[in-house]
Amino acid sequence: MPSIAKPIATHPTLQRNALGLTIRDYEGSMSTLCAGCGHDSITAAVIRALWELDTQPHMVAKLSGIGCSSKTPTYFVSGAHGFNSAHGRMPAIATGAAAANRDLLYIGVSGDGDSLSIGLGQLCHAIRRNVRMAYILENNGVYGLTKGQFSASSDVGSKSKRGEANRMAPIDPVRLALSLGATFVARSFSGDKEQLVPILKAAFAHRGFALVDVVSPCVTFNDHEGSTKSYKHTRKNTLRATQADFVPPQSEILAQISKSGTTSVTMHDGSVVNFTAVPKNYDPTDRRKVAAYLDEQPANAVVTGLLYIDAGAPDMHELGESSPTPLRDLVYEKLCPGSGELDRLQEEFR
Amino acid sequence: MKAFDLAEQFQTPVILMSDLDIGMNDWVVPRLTWDDSYRPNRGRVIDAEELATKIKKFQRYNNEDENFVTPRTLPGVSEKGAYFTRGSGHNKFGGYTEIPDEYQEVMDRLKKKHAAAAKFIPEPEVVSREGARFGVIAMGGCDPAVREAMDQLDRQGTPADYLRVRGFPFGEGVEKFLADHDFCFVVEQSRDAQLRSLLTLETSVPKEKLKSVLVYGGFPLSSRHVVQGILSQL
């Protein structure tokens, strides 16, 4: 059965951003996920963040792997190119695309199965290379498409829909990213749009790899009593470690930066992440302190917020000293050094 | 460079075959040259200007050319050219579909495109000898050892024609060589005779016309293997 087409008509009073676009201009096709799926709330947050940032739709590239999460790039920004990769292979596709055109905003959407099992190596190396992309990990602790098996992020003791408890220790994407040297690490909850939207905006502005782990309940297979990724459990155990506001560069002068802010981090493009609430002695720019803070929290706590940021680390292009002009835009005469350079190179081997 | 051009022209992955012996050892090679007149063939790419002036509505898998290739757009060029490369069923317009006929239509086009690509891949190399009684077929890293073996067999009074496969899908040159010989030996570094299997699947050759010489002990192929393998079956 074909999916239902969205109506094109929009309300004439819809607010427009600096590009003259309404929020509906950032939507995609109609979701075919289950009603109430957390992933659809994340999609709505992505749309909101891109609209508020005045992002040109065609300057976005959407990528994903396989899984329920990986269906979602079709549900936002239909004016952007999108790509479903093989299972777990989205980071390699994104790395290649970013190498060819460094000017696009790369949004990778993945899930806990796609990222932490079959694609774990891919995720690790994208972090290591500091590929400039926002990597949204829609984390529901379960393989939804294949009908509810435990994933690598399922907590010990968390119960499946039929009552079986998981015994294997989970891989925590936040701790993994911190240990691998990720330059932007955040966790949020699909049901907390107020927190998620500013985190996504900061992730989109980050010059490097931005991991955003979003607990996103699966209403069909993992939203019952005994699940540790359900709406009820997440709401009950969420611990907001930080609250961050994102101030884009064009409005920086006008923005009222809260006096209660404890830390402000200036991003590469001039935007500012203003931390308005953090625990005592918490420094979101100190990797070791962040890791220590996470260790101190109760095992069942879902610690959320923009947890760590290093806005100054070199990204893949800086590490590789690649051309500031996207390779895609270089004329052939500049892209190919020609026979003379090949001769010179070969002389070096004599 | 030919592989890159083919990949872009036909919008499909091109796999370059190598082998362990080539990849894991240092080799002395002839001096490399570069043709400064070469320009890449990007295939059918619609740019921003064409999208704005000539395209009413871009449809990713529509408007095929004589080789069944449809034009594409590049990311970051124009919202009008955006499309989603999806892993699930899609129709020729690039949209999501679960209608079997629509998906089958795009799958059929891909089959025709891959068949058309056979005309563009490198032709096989053929070395003919006077009085040849049979043919020998090999590919990739087998080539130097097989050429040496052909010389040895000729000196021993058993001349044979040689064909080096240089691409897949097979072109007319492979079909003709198979048809021109009563029987052929297929020399491979493979336990499972994969090249012979492909030849029987993808050409009209009767499989009893193809005999295998298989070497897969782990050492590189030598002419001795080839000569012995052929003579033992004559």
Predicted confidence (pLDDT) per residue in A217-251, tens digit: 999 999 999 999 999 999 999 999 998 888 888 65
Q: Is the dihedral of CA A12, B83, A188, A277 positive or negative?
A: negative
Please report, for chain B, the start and end positions of each structural domain, with discontinuous segments joined by +.
Answer: 1-120, 125-231
Closest CA of chain A from B81, distance in Å:
8
**Quick check: A187 and A297 in contact, CB under 8 A?**
no
Question: What DSSP string describes A175-231?
Answer: HHHHHHT-SEEEEEETT-HHHHHHHHHHHHH-SSEEEEEEE---TTTS-STT-SSSH
**B82, A58: Cβ pair inside 8 Å?**
yes
Phi then psi for residue A332, to 5 deg, are: -60, -35
Identity of the residue in A57, A97, A346 whose CB atom sits nearest the CB atom of B32: A346
- What domains can you pick out in chain A, each with its CATH number? 23-327 (3.40.50.970)
Residues from chain A that touch B83, judged by Cβ atoms under 8 A, are 81-82
* The pLDDT of residue A12: 86
**Res. A275 pLDDT band, cuts 50 70 90:** confident
**B86, A339: Cβ pair inside 8 Å?**
no
Nearest CA in chain A to B48: A58
Residues from chain A that touch B79, judged by Cβ atoms under 8 A, are 56-58, 79-80
**A2, B99: Cβ pair inside 8 Å?**
yes
**A328, B76: Cβ pair inside 8 Å?**
yes
Identity of the residue in A3, A104, A339 whose CB atom sits nearest the CB atom of B34: A339
Predicted confidence (pLDDT) per residue in A45-72, tens digit: 999 999 999 999 999 999 999 999 999 9
Beta bridge partners of B166: none
Query: A140 versus A262: which is more confidently predicted?
Result: A140
Closest CA of chain B from A338, distance in Å:
6
Closest CA of chain A from B118, distance in Å:
26
Average pLDDT over residues A196-213: 97
Chain A contacts to B (CB-CB under 8 A): 1-3, 29, 56-59, 61-62, 66, 70, 73-74, 78-86, 97, 101, 103-104, 328, 332, 338-339, 342, 346
Residue A257 has pLDDT above 70, yes or no: no
pTM of the model: 0.92
Residue in the block written with tokens 């619609």: B46
Q: Which of A234-238, A262-266, A325-329 has the lowest mean pLDDT?
A: A262-266
**B33, A57: Cβ pair inside 8 Å?**
no
Predicted confidence (pLDDT) per residue in B146-183, tens digit: 999 999 999 999 999 999 999 999 999 999 999 999 99
**Quick check: A192 and A41 in contact, CB under 8 A?**
no
Indicate the DSSP class of residue A165. B
Residues from chain B that touch A73, judged by Cβ atoms under 8 A, are 84
* The pLDDT of residue B89: 85
Nearest CA in chain A to B89: A2
**B79, A58: Cβ pair inside 8 Å?**
yes
- Select the residue from A21, A81, A346, A349 to test the B interface by mutation, using most B Cβ atoms within 10 A: A81
Residue A256 has pLDDT above 60, yes or no: no
**A58, B96: Cβ pair inside 8 Å?**
no
* The pLDDT of residue B88: 79
**B96, A59: Cβ pair inside 8 Å?**
no
Nearest CA in chain B to A32: B96
Identity of the residue in B39, B87, B96 whose CB atom sits nearest the CB atom of A29: B96
* The pLDDT of residue B177: 98
Identity of the residue in B31, B86, B98 whose CB atom sits nearest the CB atom of A84: B86
**B32, A342: Cβ pair inside 8 Å?**
yes
* The pLDDT of residue A255: 39
Predicted confidence (pLDDT) per residue in B180-189, tens digit: 999 999 999 9
Identity of the residue in B40, B77, B96 whose CB atom sits nearest the CB atom of A3: B96
As a whole number of angstroms, the distance between CA A243 and CA A336 comes to: 48
Nearest CA in chain B to A31: B96
Residue A259 has pLDDT above 60, yes or no: no
Identity of the residue in A1, A78, A342 whose CB atom sits nearest the CB atom of B82: A78
**A58, B77: Cβ pair inside 8 Å?**
yes
Identity of the residue in A3, A82, A339 whose CB atom sits nearest the CB atom of B33: A339
Residues from chain A that touch B32, judged by Cβ atoms under 8 A, are 342, 346
Residue A81 has pLDDT above 50, yes or no: yes
Residue A1 has pLDDT above 50, yes or no: no
* Mean pLDDT for all residues in chain B: 95
* Mean pLDDT for all residues in chain A: 92
Please identify every stretch of chain B with a pLDDT value under 50, giving residue numbers as ranges.
none
Give the whole-number percent of chain B exceeding pLDDT 70: 100
Residue A314 has pLDDT above 90, yes or no: yes
Task: Provide the CATH topology of domain B125-231.
Answer: Rossmann fold (3.40.50)
